[in-house]
């Protein structure tokens, strides 16, 4: 850029700032990636009201705060029992200690409390008797992480837990056999709403075996090497997350027009090996709001993939580097508001005919579109108009890292509702005069 052009641009930017309601100009390098790939809070700490006002408690081996939370951390063999507490503990995080045998005496010191939340992590648990948890009547959340208890003993142990438990997480429990989950046996009539299984080798999931969990709303099975699943009917399940597994085929959610999960709102299948989705594999899920299948092996996004899903708001298909193309009308939907297809190594130009220039037709409600980190090096203004010209409701658009050499004209021409625009990491070297003069809502560039 010559000095003269630079001065002109600066002058122009100055005028823009004065004349138009632009609050900030932010350079959000790489930010969107963080936002959408972030795993959900692993430890639930975000829900926890942690205070800094700690006092020593539990035979001086734990710390407690004024809202009755106790943390007993990393005392190893020194702490081989659950100690006595002076205050009425409601929340206990017992991590890195030694409880090889859990039985009906183990929790004696806390049975008189209204213990709501128990987190047992890395305590070398080997045995656990069926009546171990019998007396913890107020327990609502239980986490067991990182132990080597056998499947039979684990199932026995779970059978004694109060039926009022709402949240159960089992993570990184190792032994020689697959966890052939048979929750029907051990959790009969439980009111569990949230079940999380993570880092436990499972291979196959059979939902019939959890059919006794009539209140199950949120099911997460991650890092379980799941290859196949069989579902069964539930009208209560609202969220299903099978990310970080080895699924090759899109699971069977639909039997003809009927859905196994009639009220499923959120489906996450990120980080698997699924190569195809056919429209009729989704069409039955009439309550679906959010669908995400990032980092899989999807080859084509077919025409009308999301048709007939009246509540669908969010679709995310990022990091599918084997993606060859998006067919015409792929996102035809009268409800879709957010679409994420960044980092898919897609080419949008006439030499790569697999991506239809009609791919983004018939999704008029779209407000957020991120197509960053794809290839638009040779996409002309005429093609851009064809691709995105009808998306008149878009408020947030990212075309960063797209090989752009010019500012596409469709943005000021059609996207008058734009509030946020990301264009970083491109090769744009010219800002056409008055490019930004038609925006009334633009806040971030
Ligand atoms: C319990 O404490 C351990 C060790 O600090 C921590 O890693 C874990 O996230 C905590 N879990 C919860 C649920 O508070
Ligand atoms: C967090 O702790 C403070 C101080 O004890 C309390 O006033 C507040 O209600 C608590 N918030 C929640 C969500 O528990
Ligand atoms: C901290 O704890 C002490 C003793 O329990 C209490 O007197 C004090 O009010 C607490 N401070 C805060 C900021 O909660
Ligand atoms: C209860 O706590 C006391 C003191 O903290 C300890 O000596 C005792 O072994 C504990 N009881 C059980 C059953 O763990
Ligand atoms: C613990 O269980 C054993 C048998 O499993 C029983 O004999 C004993 O009375 C129980 N103790 C308590 C405190 O519940
Ligand atoms: C799933 O579990 C049900 C009930 O135990 C059983 O009848 C069915 O055969 C199982 N299906 C598969 C594919 O394992
Ligand atoms: C888009 O979806 C509607 C149903 O909502 C359907 O009638 C129409 O044929 C679809 N358009 C195309 C071009 O496939
Ligand atoms: C397209 O643009 C990207 C990013 O600017 C660049 O790395 C790449 O080499 C370009 N490809 C071609 C074929 O020009």
Tell me, what's the pLDDT at 51?
59
Q: How far is the CA of 131 from the centre of ligand 5 (A)?
A: 8
Mutation to probe ligand 4, out of 56, 80, 109 (largest number of atoms < 8 A from CB)? 109
Tell me, what's the pLDDT at 3?
47
- In angstroms, the CA 246 to CA 249 distance is 9
* Ligand 4 neighbours by CB, cut-off 6 Å: 59, 81-84, 105, 108-109
Tell me, what's the pLDDT at 177?
63
Query: Is the CB of 393 within 6 Å of ligand 5?
Result: no
The size of the chain, in residues, is 445
Q: Where are the domains of the chain?
A: 1-30+298-445
Fold for domain 1-30+298-445? 3.80.10
- In angstroms, the CA 93 to CA 145 distance is 11
Q: How far is the CA of 371 from the centre of ligand 8 (A)?
A: 15
Tell me, what's the pLDDT at 49?
56
* pTM recorded for the entire structure: 0.85
Tell me, what's the pLDDT at 21?
34
- In angstroms, the CA 183 to CA 333 distance is 38
Residue 169: CB atoms within 10 A of its CB come to: 19
Task: Supply the residue whose CA is at minimum distance from atom 13 of ligand 1.
Answer: 43
Tell me, what's the pLDDT at 186?
83
Tell me, what's the pLDDT at 43?
35
Where the chain has pLDDT below 70, the residues are 1-52, 175-179, 352-353
Mutation to probe ligand 8, out of 345, 377, 406 (largest number of atoms < 8 A from CB)? 377
Residue 441: CB atoms within 10 A of its CB come to: 13
Q: Are strands 420-422 and 325-326 parallel, antiparallel or unpaired?
A: unpaired
Residue 102 token pair: 């859990």
Task: Supply the residue whose CA is at minimum distance from atom 10 of ligand 2.
Answer: 49
Please write down the HEC assignment for all residues of the chain: CCHHHHHHHHHHHHHHHHHCCCCCCCCCCCHHHHHHHCCCCCCCHHHCCCCCCCEEECCCCEEECCCCEEEEEEEECCCCCCCCCCCCCCEEEEEEECCCEECCCCCHHHCCCCCCEEEEECCCCCEECCCCCCCCCCCCEEEEEEECCCHHHHHHHHHCCCCCCCEEEEEEECCCCCCCCCHHHHCCCCCCCEEEEECCCCCEEEHHHHCCCCCCCEEEEECCCCCEEECCCECCCCEEECCCCCCCCCCCCEECCEECECCCCEEECCCCCCCCCCHHHCCCCCCCCEEECCCCCCCEECCCCCCCCCCCCEEECCCCCCCCEECCCCCCCCCCCEEECCCCCCECCCCCCCCCCCCCCCCCCCCEEECCCCECCCCCHHHHHHHHCCCCCCCEEECCCCCCCCCCCHHHHHCCCCCEEECCCCCCCCCCCCCCCCCCCCCEC
pLDDT digits (tens, 9 = 90+) for 276-322: 999 999 999 999 999 999 999 999 999 999 999 999 999 999 999 88
Tell me, what's the pLDDT at 48?
53
Which atom, in ligand 5's list, is nearest to the CA of 135? 14
Task: Supply the residue whose CA is at minimum distance from atom 8 of ligand 8.
Answer: 403
């Amino acid at each position: 850029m010559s000095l003269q052009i630079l001065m002109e641009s600066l002058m122009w930017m100055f005028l823009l700032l004065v004349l138009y309601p632009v609050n900030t100009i932010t350079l959000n390098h790489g930010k969107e990636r963080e936002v959408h790939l972030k795993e959900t809070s692993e430890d639930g700490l975000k829900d926890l009201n942690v205070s800094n006002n700690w006092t020593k408690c539990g035979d001086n081996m734990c710390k407690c705060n004024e809202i009755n939370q106790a943390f007993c951390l990393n005392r190893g063999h020194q702490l081989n029992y659950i100690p006595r507490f002076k205050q009425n503990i409601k929340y206990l995080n017992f991590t890195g200690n030694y409880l090889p045998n859990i039985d009906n005496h183990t929790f004696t010191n806390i049975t008189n409390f209204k213990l709501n939340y128990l987190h047992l992590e890395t305590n070398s648990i080997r045995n656990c008797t069926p009546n171990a948890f019998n007396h913890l009547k107020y327990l609502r959340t239980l986490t067991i992480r990182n132990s080597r208890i056998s499947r039979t003993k684990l199932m026995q142990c779970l059978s004694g837990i109060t039926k009022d438990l709402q949240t159960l997480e089992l993570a990184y429990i190792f032994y020689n056999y697959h966890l052939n989950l048979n929750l029907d046996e051990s959790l009969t009539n439980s009111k569990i709403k949230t079940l999380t299984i993570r880092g436990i080798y499972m291979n196959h999931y059979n939902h019939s075996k959890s059919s006794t969990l009539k209140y199950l709303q949120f099911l997460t099975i991650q890092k379980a090497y799941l290859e196949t699943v069989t579902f069964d009917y539930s009208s209560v399940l609202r969220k299903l997350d099978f990310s970080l597994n080895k699924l090759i085929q899109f699971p069977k959610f639909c039997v003809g027009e009927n859905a196994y999960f009639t009220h499923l709102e959120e489906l996450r299948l990120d980080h698997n090996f699924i190569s195809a989705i056919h429209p009729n594999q989704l069409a039955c899920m009439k309550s679906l709001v959010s669908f995400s299948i990032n980092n899989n092996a999807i080859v084509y996004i077919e025409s009308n993939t999301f048709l007939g899903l009246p509540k669908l708001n969010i679709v995310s298909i990022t990091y599918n580097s084997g993606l060859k193309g998006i067919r015409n009308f792929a996102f035809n939907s009268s409800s879709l508001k957010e679409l994420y297809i960044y980092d898919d190594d897609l080419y949008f130009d006439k030499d790569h005919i697999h991506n239809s220039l009609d791919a983004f037709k018939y999704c008029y409600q779209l407000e957020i579109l991120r197509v960053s980190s794809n290839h638009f090096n040779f996409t002309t203004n005429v093609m851009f108009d064809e691709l995105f010209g009808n998306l008149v409701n878009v408020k947030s658009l990212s075309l960063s890292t797209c090989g752009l050499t010019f500012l596409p004209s469709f943005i000021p021409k059609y996207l008058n509702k734009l509030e946020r625009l990301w264009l970083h990491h491109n090769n744009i070297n010219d800002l056409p005069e008055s490019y930004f003069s038609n925006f009334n809502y633009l806040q971030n560039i």
